Amino acid sequence: MKYRGMEIHWLGHDSFRIIGRKIIYIDPFKVSAVPRVEKAEIILITHPHYDHCSLEDIEKVSRDGTKIITHADCQSKIARLPVKVEIIPISVGKKLELGGVEIEAVPAYNIGKQFHQRQQEWLGYIITMNDKRIYHAGDTDLIPEMKNFKVDVALLPVSGTYVMTAEEAVKAAQVILPDLAIPMHYNSIVGSEADADHFIEGCRKLGIKVEKLPKF
């Protein structure tokens, strides 16, 4: 989809390609072969689980010189790539600027379940590009830090089990109040189209603009 001078493509699960000032991929997983002109200038990895830090998929979208922003827990795995990439570790609360794009690492964790523990300090990201702020929540529940996020677009998990349920994701959207909310983390591993639809319905009832993207 086109959004205010950018393109946002959902690649399935938690994976997105965002095209603006830079070509950015987030958590590539089970992606198709990518033409060289569409390969990443920047890749963001949220945490080391296989469906987020997939070496095979990172290689598919990388080219020489790609910058990979990642949690330190993923660093040794990514270092095995045959492509000459630049690995840049980042931690919660840190920001960096790459060619006019700001990347901020924010918390992503579970409350009341053990899959993504707060002390691991795994990540979501806020990307500022083309004067717009896009929040990729990573694998998270509804967490208190969300009330401080001022963003234009929120990419939120909706499947439950390992992340927020659709109902909790609606509450997250209500807390964040983005210009646009987009569901993710469904139709792969866990979650179904019905979870995304439930999220869409809940957001619309609250007057929150929402869109379910087709898988690109």
pLDDT tens-place string over residues 74-133:
999 999 999 999 999 999 999 999 999 999 999 999 998 989 998 899 999 999 999 999
- Give the model's pLDDT for residue 36: 81
Q: Tell me the percentage of the chain whose pLDDT exceeds 90.
A: 91
Element (H, E) at 155: strand 153-157
Burial 143-175 (b: 16+ CB within 10 A, else e): beebeebebbbbbbbbbbebbbbbebbbebbbb
Q: What is the DSSP letter of 119?
A: G
pLDDT band at 160 (very low <50, low <70, confident <90, very high): confident
Residue 195 banded pLDDT, cuts 50, 70, 90? very high
* pLDDT value at residue 65: 96
67-70/42-45 β-pairing: parallel
CB 178 within 8 A of CB 154: yes
pLDDT exceeds cutoff 90 at 191? no
Does the pLDDT value for residue 33 go beyond 80? no
Q: Does pLDDT of 185 surpass 90?
A: yes
**Total residues found in the chain within this entry:** 216
Binned at pLDDT 50, 70 and 90, residue 154 comes out as very high
- Which residues make beta-bridge pairs with 41? none
The answer on pLDDT for 28 being more than 80 is: yes
At residue 88, the pLDDT reads 98
> For position 42, what pLDDT does the model report?
98
State the pLDDT at residue 104: 98
